[in-house]
Amino acid sequence: MRIDTHHHFWNLNKVEYPWLKPESSVLYRTIEPPELEPQLRAAGIDRTVLVQSANNTEDTISMLTQAECYDWIGAVIGWVPLGQPDQARKLLQRYSGHPKFRGMRHLIHNERDPDWVIQDNVVRGLKVLEEFNLVFDFVPVYPLHLKHAPYLLERLPNLTFVIDHLAVPPIRTKEMGAWASQMQDAARFPNVVVKVSGLGTAVGSSSWSYLDIKSYIDFALDTFGADRCMFGSDWPVCTRAGDYAKVWSETNKALQDRTRHEIDAVLGGTAQRVYKLT
């Protein structure tokens, strides 16, 4: 099974996306499943994980509705207000009855306070998520948020953390440094998985190739192990630096010297286990 663990849809007429502005160019328009479906078919993708794009309930409801209409959407990562644990519990009780709801994410990088995710009430909200045995897609943007991972992981040992986009490493400057050190700190905890996603966008140029991202993918594989790494396209955000086919092909090229087990894990096996996909 080949799985894309990270993509989005949005309808500007139905849901508010505060971060999405006219200056977002190619992204500032309604983007829905029929546009992605042929691209998945061309790449040979069997299942996907649809990930939240806004910190509101309307976005989650929209995604769950789409998942009911398309079999290839295997899981949905929605949103609940972590800062309001009681309200988060009520929504999780509601969403957890949906067969494709697997967890939640909050756009922490849009919070003014870079320490938002370690506030006491937010940690309490994460404990509620842990009680429901769901996944927390953690979208840290280095260097502001990744450093908080050990603090959270120590307090939430039974919550599966998925670090999106390898925490947006400093690929443009070809650095590893503190980013690598913080990723190693996170890797000490067994309940952490990372997404090999968003790397072409991090390069910041449409001329990027697998040579730009390979060292970061290799680092992730060597640090976390292939059974804790999984592919994500980050479509349509990735189209700022290349289409779906490019993300898929360049990621495969970056993996070509790894073992068959590693390749199969990154491209599907890990995601199948983490997101309980069939």
What confidence tens digit (pLDDT) does each residue in 153-205 have? Answer: 999 999 999 999 999 999 999 999 999 999 999 999 999 999 999 999 999 88
The mean pLDDT of the chain is 97
Pairing of strands 160-163, 192-196: parallel
- Return the pLDDT at 142: 87
CA 168 to chain CA centroid, nearest Å: 11
Residues sharing a CB contact under 8 Å with residue 178, sequence separation 6 or more, in sequence order? 142, 143
What confidence tens digit (pLDDT) does each residue in 97-130 have? Answer: 999 999 999 999 999 999 999 999 999 999 999 9
User: Residue 258 pLDDT > 80, yes or no?
Assistant: yes
User: Residue 24 pLDDT > 80, yes or no?
Assistant: no
User: Residue 268 pLDDT > 90, yes or no?
Assistant: yes
Confidence class for position 265, pLDDT limits 50, 70, 90: very high
Q: Mean pLDDT throughout 224-235?
A: 98
Instruction: Measure Cα distances from 148 to 113, 127, 166 in Å.
Output: 13, 16, 14
What confidence tens digit (pLDDT) does each residue in 48-97 have? Answer: 999 999 999 999 999 999 999 999 999 999 999 999 999 999 999 999 99
In what order do the strands lie in the sheet containing 47-51?
3-7, 47-51, 73-78, 101-105, 135-138, 160-163, 192-196, 229-231
The answer to whether the peptide bond before residue 143 is cis (omega within 30 degrees of 0) is yes
Tell me the longest C-alpha to C-alpha distance in the chain.
Answer: 48
Amino acid code (one letter) for 113: D
- CATH superfamily assigned to domain 3-274: Metal-dependent hydrolases (3.20.20.140)
Q: Mean pLDDT throughout 225-251?
A: 97
User: Residue 276 pLDDT > 80, yes or no?
Assistant: yes
Considering only 5-9, 24-28, 124-128, which range has the smallest mean pLDDT?
Answer: 24-28
- Return the pLDDT at 154: 97
User: Residue 25 pLDDT > 90, yes or no?
Assistant: no
